[in-house]
Amino acid sequence: MEVFPIGIIHSPFKVLEDMPIQPTGAAGISGTVEVDASFCEGLKDLDGFSHIILLYQFHRSQGYALQVIPFMDTTSRGLFATRAPKRPNPIGLSIVELERVDGNCLHISNVDILDGTPLLDIKPYVPQFDIHQVTRSGWLDRSENNVTTHKSDSRFT
Amino acid sequence: MEVFPIGIIHSPFKVLEDMPIQPTGAAGISGTVEVDASFCEGLKDLDGFSHIILLYQFHRSQGYALQVIPFMDTTSRGLFATRAPKRPNPIGLSIVELERVDGNCLHISNVDILDGTPLLDIKPYVPQFDIHQVTRSGWLDRSENNVTTHKSDSRFT
């Protein structure tokens, strides 16, 4: 299947190094999503949601390995047990806060996305669909406390 | 960007009609994800997570409209304020419970996905990244209580 950009995500992050590795580590960082004008009609009602799911292309990531050492760990992990950007299908997922909608421009915060990233889809974040009580969170059980301070480096460029 | 199946999702749902419309409405429904053997190494460590995010192709949905009447509503809504399957990039997202991993086969429950759906990506569901306190959930604020009983129909075929 061919997927194509429906817009562009803008953020303060111009290079992959030193980015927050998840929105949780990007509190207060603002950005915008510039949706192609031809899709503007599809944004109706979106302003009713405080959080949205962005799917986008990890456009700077080439290739992949099936085991990686995640930013928050020192041990090699199976790729699909990580959120690393170099994947067979390099599709990124971030849940960001939607501040306001201005025409075809979404003002968002808690942005952990590289400036210029091609947007693939927008979905509303719905607690009843998207909040789940987990009983296990794997290797992150002991390392997730660091997500707010961990930054990316060049390993996934 | 070209994306390609890395596996196939199997479920009891052979036709689009009468499916649950979200995993919340599919409690107890079991399925499997058959990951292509060539990606098996990437599944290491995944069994540590109780919930996983599946990205997949809405392979039975052709075309899209920028306004739709969602299953849970009677009013036309902007497409991107809904989870409707007919989208410019028809990528689906479901958070399912991971029961166990058996080689390249994932046994999952709370499955709201059509049998034979092409899998695009697997990501671990991580509370610190994926659970957010929302203040608004738009048109769903008044209708989300119905998700456990609502079923799909043919409108998005």
Question: How many residues comprise chain B?
Answer: 157
Strands (E), A15-152: 30-35, 51-57, 67-68, 77-78, 91-102, 105-109, 117-124
Please indicate if any CB of chain B lies within 8 Å of the CB of A117: no
Q: What is the pLDDT of residues A95-114, one digit of tens each?
A: 999 999 999 999 999 888 99
The pTM (predicted TM-score) of the whole model is 0.90
**What's the mean pLDDT in A91-97?**
96
Nearest chain B residue to A133 by CA: give it.
Answer: B127
Tokens representing A45 are 């009602």
Judged by CB atoms closer than 8 Å, whether chains meet at B83 and A125 is answered as no
- Residues B42, A21: Cα–Cα separation, whole Å: 20
Q: Where are the alpha helices (DSSP H) in B12-154?
A: 127-130
Q: A residues 4-63 near B, CB within 8 Å?
A: 4, 6, 22-24, 39, 41-51, 53, 55, 57, 59
Judged by CB atoms closer than 8 Å, whether chains meet at B79 and A125 is answered as no
pLDDT tier, B146 (very low <50, low <70, confident <90, very high otherwise): low
Task: Quote the ipTM score.
Answer: 0.90
Between A6 and A143, name the one with better pLDDT: A6
- The rounded radius of gyration (Å) of the Cα atoms in chain B is 16
Between B146 and B111, name the one with better pLDDT: B111
How far, in whole angstroms, is CA A72 from its chain's centroid? 16
Residues of A in contact with B46 (CB under 8 A): 78, 80-81, 138
Nearest chain B residue to A95 by CA: give it.
Answer: B130
Nearest chain A residue to B67 by CA: give it.
Answer: A42
